[in-house]
Amino acid sequence: MTPIPDSLHQTLSRLLGDEGWRTDEAARLAHAGDDSRRSAPPAAVALPRTREDVVALVRACREHRVPIVARGAGTGTTGAAVPVHGGVVVSFARMDRIIELRAADRCAVVEPGVRNGDLQQALMPHGLFWPPDPSSAETCTVGGNLATNAGGPRAVKYGATRDNVLGLVAVTGAGELIRCGGPYTKDSTGYDLTHLLVGSEGTLALIVEATLKLAPRPIAQAGLRAFYRDAACAAAAVSRLMAQPSVPAMLEFMDRRSLALLRHNGSDVPEAGAMLLIEADGDHDTLPRALSALGAAAEGEGLLSLDVAADGVARDRLWAARRALSPALRTIAPGKINEDVVVPVSRIPDLVAGVEALSAEYALPIVAFGHAGNGNLHVNILYHPDDAAETARAQAALPRVFALALALGGTLSGEHGIGLAKRGFMAQAFDAATLEAMRAIKRALDPDGILNPGKVLP
């Protein structure tokens, strides 16, 4: 672990005060891990209040070559916020202001510590929302969403975080404050640093302010639940659904194992090879037409049944199964490796078939479900951590899942990011020239390599 030199300790203690500079064991342990279940305590925790604090902090750490790891709420699943080299964790918990809501410009200016759920509540009176909706939306922060390019079910229509950011203010690894983008939706001025920084997992700069693109809140929603003979028929339906002028607001896929698990836990789900959950949104005039078009697209070879949920209670009941799925996995086995991969929509059946083959080969339950419209599925390898043989098989199956996704023309992550979990597979996903271009960008923005070292790049 990189220790904190006395001179740096004194400098940052004076800058941030007792509440903003913590070296006690309780604070260090509280900022040691994330939802990946990995853990490594930092030497200290910094809680800045202003962008000026962040500039001074980065410059001081750079002078002493002390690593810096930015942190939101710690809900990430890839270990991106774990300080594996010690150093300083920078928590943005005290930089949590909604600076400005500009309803006329359909944007909001916020600090990184604002929680996604709190932002959505603040936007409700204005009839607006920010589209990223990861499963941790009530607790995760905007800064964490930006760092990982978080998505969620609504990404199929509204895009992931990167598609819903207009501008950033950030501090580079050289301690320089940079500004990119702004409260406008069209810009052909210079390099697009805004979208470069989103998804970089704190390895290029620390985001201290974001201008977010907002969308009008739909007036009405309705849902469909379609059951198919197999994953191939469901994937063919996904292609038809995505070809409609009215893009689904959500389009979720569950494989046969997911449905069996839901039945086992009491959900009203019939036997089928796959299920799609489809949602349309709009206003009271446009919604019926959109729902009818999506229902027609869902029909086709292999369709077993199609349910419609038009009112709020029925919609909630329809989506309850999707929300219950992740917790239900724990009833199979207490250990879970959950990695998201992306393949072209047409290759979803091949991914599901490959996952089923791996499940048989490694004698472990593997469940696949997720955001079908984007080809972004969550592959869950289930095992008992107290069983050494099962644990070893689970760890051996994981690289095979990544190799399968890449072989199908896909990529390693759609919304969770790379962090530590997938770093070792980046050399399989990109050729040497592309990785060197990424490293050159890293050197330009973080010349001494102090920002989240050991993450993303192999």
Task: Provide the 10 A C-beta neighbour count for residue 432.
Answer: 8
Residue 222's alpha-carbon distances to 21, 153, 268, 308, 315, in angstroms, are: 49, 15, 19, 8, 7
Judgement on whether residues 255 and 395 belong to the same structural domain of the protein: yes
Judgement on whether residues 209 and 228 belong to the same structural domain of the protein: no
User: Checking phi first, is residue 251 left (phi over 0); if not, alpha (psi -120 to 50) or beta?
Assistant: beta
Backbone angles phi, psi at 285, to 5 degrees: -85, -40
Query: Which CATH number characterizes residue 238's domain?
Result: 3.40.462.10
Among residues 374, 368, 272, 385, which one has the least CA distance to residue 325?
A: 368
pLDDT at 173 (0 to 100): 98
pLDDT at 325 (0 to 100): 85
Residue 107 covered by a domain = yes
Residue 456 covered by a domain = no
Residue 315 covered by a domain = yes
Residues 397, 218: Cα–Cα separation, whole Å? 42
Judgement on whether residues 212 and 245 belong to the same structural domain of the protein: no
Judgement on whether residues 54 and 141 belong to the same structural domain of the protein: no
Judgement on whether residues 254 and 379 belong to the same structural domain of the protein: yes
Residue 64 covered by a domain = yes
Judgement on whether residues 246 and 278 belong to the same structural domain of the protein: yes
Among residues 92, 72, 87, which one has the least CA distance to residue 9?
A: 87
- Looking at 181, 216, 251, the residue that finishes a domain is 216
Judgement on whether residues 401 and 297 belong to the same structural domain of the protein: yes
Judgement on whether residues 249 and 360 belong to the same structural domain of the protein: yes
Residue 120 covered by a domain = yes
Judgement on whether residues 174 and 109 belong to the same structural domain of the protein: yes
What's the angle, vertex CA 348, arms to CA 347 and CA 352, rounded to 5?
Answer: 120
Residue 406, token pair as written in the block: 């890449």
**SS3 (DSSP) at 337:** strand
Residue 355 covered by a domain = yes
Judgement on whether residues 147 and 205 belong to the same structural domain of the protein: yes
pLDDT at 327 (0 to 100): 79
Task: Please count the structural domains in the chain.
Answer: 3
Residue 392 covered by a domain = yes
Query: Which CATH number characterizes residue 53's domain?
Result: 3.30.43.10
User: Is 294 within 8 Å of 224 (Cβ atoms)?
Assistant: yes
Burial category of 14 from C-beta neighbours within 10 Å (exposed 0-12, middle 13-18, buried 19 and up)? exposed
User: Is 23 within 8 Å of 44 (Cβ atoms)?
Assistant: yes
If you count them, how many residues does the chain have?
A: 458
**SS3 (DSSP) at 88:** strand
- Looking at 36, 60, 91, the residue that finishes a domain is 91
Strand partners, 6: none
pLDDT at 440 (0 to 100): 98
Quote the pTM value: 0.94
- In the β-sheet with 250-255, what is the strand arrangement from edge to edge? 303-309, 220-228, 274-282, 250-255, 366-371, 376-383, 335-342
pLDDT at 443 (0 to 100): 98
Judgement on whether residues 173 and 209 belong to the same structural domain of the protein: yes
Judgement on whether residues 318 and 403 belong to the same structural domain of the protein: yes
Could you tell me the mean pLDDT of each successive run of 10 residues in the chain, 458 residues long?
89 97 97 94 98 98 98 95 97 98 98 98 98 94 98 96 98 98 96 98 98 96 95 95 93 95 87 96 93 96 93 79 81 90 95 95 96 95 96 96 97 96 96 98 98 96
* β strands within 47-161, DSSP E: 68-71, 88-91, 98-102, 107-110, 128-129
- Looking at 389, 407, 425, the residue that finishes a domain is 407
Among residues 49, 51, 62, which one has the least CA distance to residue 21?
A: 49
Query: Which CATH number characterizes residue 168's domain?
Result: 3.30.465.10
- Residues spanned by the domain of 322: 220-407
Residue 26 covered by a domain = yes
pLDDT at 394 (0 to 100): 97
Q: Which residue has the tokens 């206003």?
A: 283
